[in-house]
Amino acid sequence: MEETISLKELFQTIKKRLWLIVLLTVLATTASGVVSYFLLTPIYQSSTQLLVNQSNQQGMVDANQIRTNVEIIETYKFIIKSDVILKEVSQELDGKETVTSLGSKISVGPEGNSQVLKITVEHEDPVMAANISNTTAEVFKNVATGLMDMNINSVQVITPAEINSSPIKPQPVLNMAIAFVVGLMAGVGLAFLLEFLDNTVRNEQDVEKLLGLPVLGSITIIEDKDVQEAIRQQRQAKTRTRGETVGS
């Protein structure tokens, strides 16, 4: 005999353990909010855009030259994050950041397929993030133009880094929304798991499902107070009957 679960039974299970679902959802959302607002350190981001041009011995710029400039950006990324650059940046910052910490906070990449190079810094201090980004750009500008093998003609700062007072992470609202969904799903899943593991027999339908046999009858449980109430009502009825007989 196949056991089927109706939509009504699903809603009854959810209704029965609604308190558990609500509790887990509230706890997950609250915990995420507390961690995001009070425990996680805000991280700020600042970026500097550079335009690096190589010298052209033919005195003209063609498509091959531009493509070469774009491809060599990978080399620029390595140079910027090299110890030579980062050591000088650390000195410019009066040793407030080590070479290792700078390497973990600085990321370099091209803007799309253009010749523009973007230096991005993530830091706990928004002022320091902008300072590191601009300092790295200036150090690279001074060092790169002296590299004869790279044939770098000029390095121009297109957009200097500015102080960004809005942290990029954590994002409390997003974290709380994700925690709300996760808590809700966990609560519903736990409610159905507890219902599945509950083998308590409560009514005739549970007996039929358990034994696979039809129920022929049931015995009602009568409590003592119900018996006493029935006796009292019976005595009152006899008293009224006697009074009517005497009166007639």
pLDDT per residue, tens digit, the chain (248 aa), is 445 567 877 888 888 899 999 999 999 999 999 999 999 999 999 999 998 776 554 444 455 655 665 667 778 888 899 998 999 999 999 999 999 999 999 999 888 777 788 999 999 999 999 999 999 999 998 887 666 455 566 788 899 999 999 999 999 999 999 999 999 999 999 999 988 887 777 677 777 777 777 776 676 777 777 778 878 888 877 777 766 665 55
In the predicted model, what is the mean pLDDT of the chain? 82
Query: Are 96 and 31 part of one and the same domain?
Result: no
Helix 73-80, helix 126-144: angle, nearest 10: 120
Query: Are 74 and 155 part of one and the same domain?
Result: yes
For residue 150, what is the DSSP state? G
In a domain, 235, yes or no: yes
Cα distance between residue 229 and residue 32, in whole Å: 56
Query: Are 36 and 48 part of one and the same domain?
Result: no
Query: Are 132 and 215 part of one and the same domain?
Result: no
Tokens of 40: 């996680």
- Looking up residue 149, the CATH number of its domain turns out to be 3.30.70.1130
Query: Are 85 and 119 part of one and the same domain?
Result: yes
Cα distance between residue 196 and residue 192, in whole Å: 6
In a domain, 88, yes or no: yes
Query: Are 128 and 36 part of one and the same domain?
Result: no
Per the structure, how many domains does the chain have? 3
Number of residues written out for the chain: 248
Instruction: List, for residues 35-52, the tens digit of each pLDDT value.
Output: 999 999 999 999 999 987
Query: Are 144 and 125 part of one and the same domain?
Result: yes
In a domain, 1, yes or no: no
Contact 53, 154 (CB under 8 A): yes
Q: What are phi and psi of 86, to 5 degrees?
A: -70, -30
In a domain, 4, yes or no: no
Runs of H (alpha helix) within the chain: 7-16, 18-34, 63-71, 73-80, 83-92, 99-105, 126-144, 172-197, 204-211, 224-247
Query: How much is the CA Rg of the chain, to the nearest whole Å?
Result: 39
Kindly write down the DSSP assignment for every residue of 99-138, as one continuous string: HHHHHHHEEEEESTTSSEEEEEEEESSHHHHHHHHHHHHH
In a domain, 164, yes or no: no
In a domain, 187, yes or no: yes
Query: Are 150 and 76 part of one and the same domain?
Result: yes
Query: Are 48 and 152 part of one and the same domain?
Result: yes
Q: Residue 234: which domain range?
A: 206-247
Query: Are 28 and 103 part of one and the same domain?
Result: no
Query: Are 222 and 149 part of one and the same domain?
Result: no
Tokens of 165: 């007072």
Query: Are 50 and 154 part of one and the same domain?
Result: yes
